[in-house]
Every structure is written in structure tokens, then in C-alpha cells.
């Protein structure tokens, strides 16, 4: 049995169902992200795990115990909030010690643990400060220390990086992940930022309209999206309407493409093909099967990267190439041949 | 603004000036000396102070958990609760006290007015009712200034129960709001006349009325003292309010 199991979770607010039969099994020490747009139900799932919302139906198991009806204070889960939620009247040290004081741990143990936590979050000199005297990044580190100081079975992170500026966000991503690995703590992370989810997670649950559209590793989610929603939500995607001619061949604006991904569509039917920008190449490679003739429509020089949009028939494709001083980007209006591998083309359901 | 200041200050200055005229042909604090050395003044002021403190404690214990619960769990009930807390402003105190006498008089099932302590208790509850609009608004404003829901959830996830959350998270973070409500309550109770008089308790309000009916200069001195007490309460509210704003602005 998995360490955390969410079985057929359903949550309705009045007549509105926000989570539909949600199933998820998380192994001990795993870092799982719930990724999706606003209103997809990801935070509701997290809040049900924390105990702040009661499921309309379904069960939640943590460490072989059914905690579905347990009060949040008895679940032994640590929670980090988007708004930090540090207690304004307490110092950094007292915030970190709060959970241990509630648990009536000995004073010496609390002091040692607080020191350990302050060192882990690299803020040992700020123990006497109040939350309003800290930056956003520092506050979130303290919130993280407070959550893990009580040694919870599961760590829940509710968009903890959303309120921070880009630079701090990136550095905190790495810190949270390395801390999670070091402590081996089972973690559920809610985010709407695909880059965060891809970088930090062992597995990602892509949610849409209260359901898990796809569960998989970042590699699987990005490279093998199973639904049109996952394909369009995670990463940038070029989409084309094509006609299936046989099991591995599709006609696209009078040009023929070979696609290795099997599709249940019948021959002659319309399907949507998708292509990641990074799979398209301008470099002539005779070994590649698929070659499309296209006209350069737009070239944007971004420094290390050149963003190009090319048109063929009624379709257009956007792709990035690395800048190379020895190989200038194509001119607008020029006709080029685009190359891509049959394995890289996705057939969307 | 000048007209407002004149309208407000001239009567106060006139009252103060009159209170100094007890001795003919000179200004003195003789009226104040007489009042402050009067054992009835000391007893009534002490009685009202004790009742004001009891009212503050009961008010805090009743209103803070209520306002917290409404904010956290029953936000849709807020207009109803606000309406209820405003009732003492529209129902005259004399109506309230006759209601009390009917409900808790000698012939009732709970004859609180039969004993002095029972009547004191009744008077305290009456004062809690009178001060409710001010205490509730002060506390509610304080609660709105903090993220009650998230702080509560954070404390819960760390194992805290309701009592711990209220005592260690909510109360300290709305301290200045509670103090504001407490000072307002003190100012209301210290000069209240109707409830204390009709329940026949030796409070400061009835003492003020008694002196006013029988003396000339001492009532002016007492009115000035009452103003000073009220203004001291308002000043303390401002100090604590300003302290809170300074903390938040850092």
C-alpha cells in the first residue's frame, strides 16, 4: 500500500462539484505536484488532505491510517501557505517552536530543534526577528521550517512560491527540493506553474475541472501528454489539423508526415497533431524522415535563442533555435525545410 | 472646523471655569478637593471601576470568540450578528432595565435582584449589553486586519486546538483592538446612570446625579473629572491604535 492514498475523493460545494472521483497513491518520500489552472480543484484536494475541507465522499489514508474524519490538528501533516501565515506576534524562533510547544516537548529539545531548523533554512541570525521584519523569501523559509519542525508524516505546500519574485522563486525551488530529498519527507505540492512542477517533482498530477487528466513523471507529462488539455497546458505546443492516411502516415497541407505514435483514429479521419518547438530543426538531416517545406514568417532575435515562426499552407509552426554567430538566422520570407523526428509528433485525443 | 471646535470646547471650558469659582472672588480647586475627599465619591468611583473591569472581562470572553467564529465559520451570518450588536443603540437603557426587572425580579424564576451580588451581576450583564456595539466593532475590525482563516489553519496543522489558537494566536494579534473596545467600555460604564439608578446600585452615575441635584460647584468639578477619565481612555485607545499601525508599517 502506498504511504498516502486518496481514494475516490469527491468534493461538492452545494450543487457545484469541484473534485470528481480523484484517485492518487503516493509513495513514502515522493514529491508529487498537483498542477493545473485556477479553479481546477488542486487546492481543494490539498485542503482535504490537510483536513481543512471534508470530502463529500471518498477516503484519505496516510501511513496506513484512515484520516478522512480526523481533525487537522491530529493528522500530523505540515502545511506551508502561499501567504506564509506566520504568527505576527511571535518571533522567528517562537514561530518555529509553536508546534513543538503545543505538543509539550521539553524546552531543551525545542531549543535544539529550533537551532537545527534555523541552520537548515540558513537564517540562524534572524531568530529574534518578527515576521514583518523579514523579506518574503525569508518568511517562506521560516514557514517551511515551522512546518517540518514537528516532523510531519506529509508536507503540504500550497503554492508557496507564488507570492515571491522570480529570482527568489527559482532559488527557493531548489532549496525546497533538496531539503525534501535530505529529509525524505513525502510532499504534495500545489502549483499552477508548469516549470516549478517539472523541475521539482518526482511525479506530476495534471488536473482539469476537478479530475486528474494525467499522472506521470515530468518526462512523461511533457513528452507524452495523453490529453489535449495536458498537451496544451504543459509547455508550448504547435498544433495542426491533419488527415490520417494509414497507420503511421498523415497528410498535412499536401505534405506527408510519418508519425510513430499509434492512434485509434480510422484512416481518412481528421486528427490533431502536435509538435514541441524544440523538436523542430532547420538543420538539414537526411536521416530524418519528416521534412516540411515552409516560409519564414517572423524571426525574433532574443540573444542566446532565436524564435522563428514559419508558415506552410494554412498552418504555422513556432520554434526556437540556439543563436550561432557562424550560422545567421533565416531571413523573413525565405523558404526553408523543417525537420522533425516521427517519434516527436503527438497525436492528440 | 473652527465653529465645531468652539461648539465643543466652549461649554467644557465654561464648566471647568465654573468649577473653580467655589470660593468667592478667586479661582480655586476647592470643589475638586471636596469631591475627591468625599467617601461617597471614592466608593462610587471604585464600585463603577470594578464593574467596568468585570464588564470588560465578560465582554471580551463573550464577544471575541463570537466574532472569531462568525469570521471563520459563519461569514454569511455577519449582517445578522452586526444587527444584533446594534440593538442596544436603538433600544433605550430604560427599556432594557425594566425588562431585566421583569425577568430577574423577586417574582421571577431567577430572582437576581433579591441579593446585592445578584443585582451586581445583573448590572454587569446590562453593561455588557450596552457596550456590545462598541466592543464588537472594535474586535471585528481587529479580526479583519489579520488573516484569521489562514492563521487558524496554520495553527491547526501544527496541532493546536481551539483554546490554544484563541489564546496564543488570535488574542495577541487583536490585542490593540480589544484594548480599544475595553477603553470604550470603561468610558461608557463609568458614567452610566439609568441601569445603575433603577437597579439601585451605588455607582458613579447616580452619585453624579445626586451631587448635581444638591450642590452648585461640585457637579461641575465632577463633570470635568468624568471628561478627563473619558479622554484618558480615548487617548489610550489612540496610543495602542497607533502602536499597532506602526508595527504593521514596518
Q: Which three cell numbers stand for residue B107?
A: 417574582
Q: CB–CB of B156 and A146 under 8 A?
A: no
Weakest mean pLDDT among A58-62, A80-84, A235-239, B96-100: A235-239
C-alpha angle with apex A98: A96 to A99, nearest 5 degrees? 100
Three-state secondary structure readout of A243-274: EEEECCEEEECCEEEECCCCCCCCCCCEEEEE
For residue range A218-234, list pLDDT tens digits in order.
Answer: 999 998 888 889 988 99
Q: Average the pLDDT over A31-43 and give the result.
A: 95
Residue of B72, B143, B147, B159 best to disrupt the A interface, most CBs of A under 10 A? B159
**Ramachandran region of residue A74, left (φ > 0), alpha (ψ -120 to 50) or beta?**
alpha
- Tens digits of residue pLDDT in B60-90: 999 999 999 999 999 999 999 999 999 999 9
For A103, nearest residue in chain B (alpha carbons): B159
Put simply, the answer to whether B153 touches A79 (Cβ < 8 Å) is: yes
At residue B249 the predicted structure's pLDDT band, cuts being 50, 70 and 90, is very low
* Average pLDDT of span A111-122: 94
- Name the more confident of B226 and B152: B152
Question: Structure pTM?
Answer: 0.83
Alpha-carbon distance A214 to nearest alpha carbon in chain B (angstroms): 29
Q: If 0-12 CB within 10 Å is exposed, 13-18 middle and 19+ buried, where does residue A187 land? A: buried
DSSP secondary structure code for residue B191 in this structure: T
CB contact under 8 A, A87 and B173: yes
**Subunit contact B172:A79, Cβ cutoff 8 A:** no
Asked if A83's CB is within 8 angstroms of B147's CB, the reply is yes
Question: Can you say whether the dihedral through the CA atoms of B229, B235, B238, B242 is positive or negative?
Answer: negative
**Closest chain B residue to the Cα of A145, Cα to Cα:** B158
| DSSP code at position B24 | T
ipTM of the complex: 0.85
Reported as a pLDDT band with limits 50, 70 and 90, residue A288 is low
Of A312, A280, A309, give the one whose Cα is nearest residue A293: A312
Residue of B nearest to A156 (CA): B157
Of A78, A88, A132, the CB nearest to B157: A78
Q: What is the pLDDT of residues A128-142, one digit of tens each?
A: 999 999 999 999 999
Q: Is A175 helix (H, G, I), strand (E, B) or coil?
A: helix
Each residue's pLDDT tens digit, A251-269 = 888 888 889 888 888 888 8
A331 pLDDT higher than 50: yes
State whether the Cα torsion A252-A253-A256-A257 is positive or negative.
negative
**B242: pLDDT strictly greater than 70:** no
Q: Is the pLDDT of residue A285 over 80?
A: no
With helix as H, strand as E and coil as C, how does A177-193 read? HHHHHHHCCEEEEEECC
**Strands in B25-68 per DSSP E:** none
The continuous run of DSSP H or E covering A301 comes out as strand A290-301
Phi, psi of A241 (to 5 degrees): -95, 125
Query: Does pLDDT of A298 surpass 60?
Result: yes
**Alpha carbon of A313 to those of A145, A203, A287, A346, B215: distances in Å?**
56, 39, 25, 20, 105
pLDDT band at B246 (very low <50, low <70, confident <90, very high): very low
Amino acid at each position: 500500500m502506498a504511504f498516502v492514498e486518496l481514494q475516490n475523493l469527491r468534493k461538492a460545494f452545494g450543487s457545484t462539484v469541484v473534485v470528481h472521483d480523484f484517485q492518487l497513491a503516493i509513495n513514502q518520500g515522493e514529491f508529487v505536484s498537483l498542477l493545473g489552472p485556477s479553479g481546477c480543484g488542486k487546492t481543494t484536494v490539498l485542503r482535504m488532505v490537510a483536513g481543512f475541507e471534508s470530502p463529500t465522499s471518498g477516503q484519505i489514508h496516510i501511513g496506513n491510517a484512515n484520516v478522512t474524519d480526523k481533525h487537522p490538528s491530529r493528522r500530523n501533516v505540515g502545511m506551508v501557505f502561499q501567504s506564509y501565515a506566520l504568527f505576527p506576534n511571535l518571533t522567528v524562533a517562537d514561530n518555529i517552536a509553536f508546534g513543538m510547544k503545543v505538543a509539550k516537548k521539553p524546552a531543551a529539545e525545542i531549543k535544539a530543534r529550533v537551532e537545527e531548523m534555523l541552520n537548515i533554512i540558513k537564517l540562524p541570525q534572524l531568530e529574534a526577528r518578527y515576521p514583518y521584519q523579514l523579506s518574503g523569501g525569508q518568511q517562506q523559509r521560516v514557514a517551511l521550517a515551522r512546518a517540518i519542525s514537528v516532523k510531519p508524516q506529509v508536507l503540504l505546500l500550497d503554492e508557496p512560491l507564488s507570492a515571491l519574485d522570480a529570482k527568489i522563486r527559482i532559488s527557493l525551488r531548489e532549496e525546497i527540493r533538496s531539503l525534501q530529498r535530505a529529509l525524505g519527507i513525502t510532499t504534495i505540492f500545489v502549483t499552477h506553474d508548469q516549470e516549478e512542477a517539472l523541475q521539482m517533482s518526482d511525479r506530476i498530477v495534471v488536473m482539469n475541472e476537478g479530475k486528474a487528466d494525467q499522472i506521470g513523471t515530468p518526462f512523461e507529462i511533457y513528452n507524452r501528454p495523453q490529453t489535449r488539455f495536458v498537451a496544451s497546458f504543459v509547455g508550448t505546443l504547435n498544433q495542426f489539423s491533419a488527415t490520417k492516411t494509414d497507420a503511421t502516415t498523415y497528410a498535412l497541407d499536401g505534405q506527408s508526415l510519418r508519425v510513430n505514435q499509434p492512434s485509434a483514429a480510422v484512416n481518412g479521419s481528421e486528427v490533431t497533431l502536435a509538435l514541441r518547438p524544440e523538436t523542430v530543426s532547420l538543420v538539414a538531416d537526411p536521416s530524418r524522415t519528416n521534412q516540411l517545406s515552409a516560409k519564414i514568417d517572423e524571426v525574433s532575435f532574443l540573444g542566446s535563442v532565436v524564435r522563428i515562426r514559419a508558415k506552410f499552407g494554412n498552418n504555422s509552426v513556432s520554434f526556437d533555435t540556439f543563436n550561432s554567430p557562424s550560422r545567421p538566422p533565416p531571413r523573413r520570407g525565405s523558404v526553408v525545410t523543417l525537420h522533425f523526428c516521427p517519434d516527436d509528433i503527438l497525436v492528440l485525443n | 472646523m473652527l465653529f465645531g471646535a468652539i461648539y465643543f470646547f466652549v461649554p467644557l471650558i465654561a464648566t471647568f471655569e465654573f468649577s473653580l469659582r467655589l470660593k468667592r472672588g478667586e479661582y480655586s480647586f476647592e470643589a475638586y478637593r471636596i469631591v475627591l475627599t468625599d467617601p461617597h465619591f471614592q466608593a462610587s468611583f471604585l464600585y463603577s471601576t470594578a464593574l467596568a473591569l468585570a464588564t470588560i472581562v465578560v465582554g471580551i470572553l463573550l464577544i471575541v470568540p463570537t466574532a472569531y467564529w462568525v469570521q471563520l465559520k459563519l461569514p454569511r451570518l455577519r449582517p445578522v450578528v452586526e444587527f444584533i450588536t446594534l440593538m442596544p443603540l436603538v433600544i433605550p437603557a430604560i427599556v432594557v432595565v425594566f425588562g431585566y426587572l421583569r425577568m430577574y425580579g423577586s417574582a421571577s424564576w431567577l430572582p437576581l435582584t433579591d441579593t446585592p451580588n445578584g443585582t451586581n451581576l445583573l448590572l454587569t450583564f446590562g453593561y455588557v449589553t450596552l457596550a456590545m456595539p462598541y466592543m464588537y466593532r472594535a474586535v471585528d475590525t481587529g479580526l479583519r486586519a489579520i488573516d484569521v482563516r489562514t492563521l487558524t489553519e496554520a495553527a491547526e496543522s501544527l496541532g493546536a486546538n481551539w483554546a490554544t489558537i484563541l489564546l496564543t494566536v488570535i488574542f495577541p494579534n487583536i490585542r490593540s483592538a480589544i484594548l480599544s473596545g475595553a477603553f470604550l467600555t470603561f468610558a461608557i460604564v463609568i458614567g452610566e446612570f439609568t441601569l445603575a439608578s433603577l437597579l439601585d446600585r451605588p455607582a458613579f452615575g447616580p452619585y453624579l446625579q445626586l451631587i448635581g441635584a444638591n450642590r452648585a460647584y461640585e457637579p461641575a468639578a465632577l463633570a470635568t473629572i468624568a471628561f478627563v477619565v473619558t479622554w484618558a481612555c480615548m487617548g489610550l485607545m489612540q496610543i495602542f491604535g497607533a502602536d499597532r499601525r506602526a508595527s504593521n508599517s514596518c
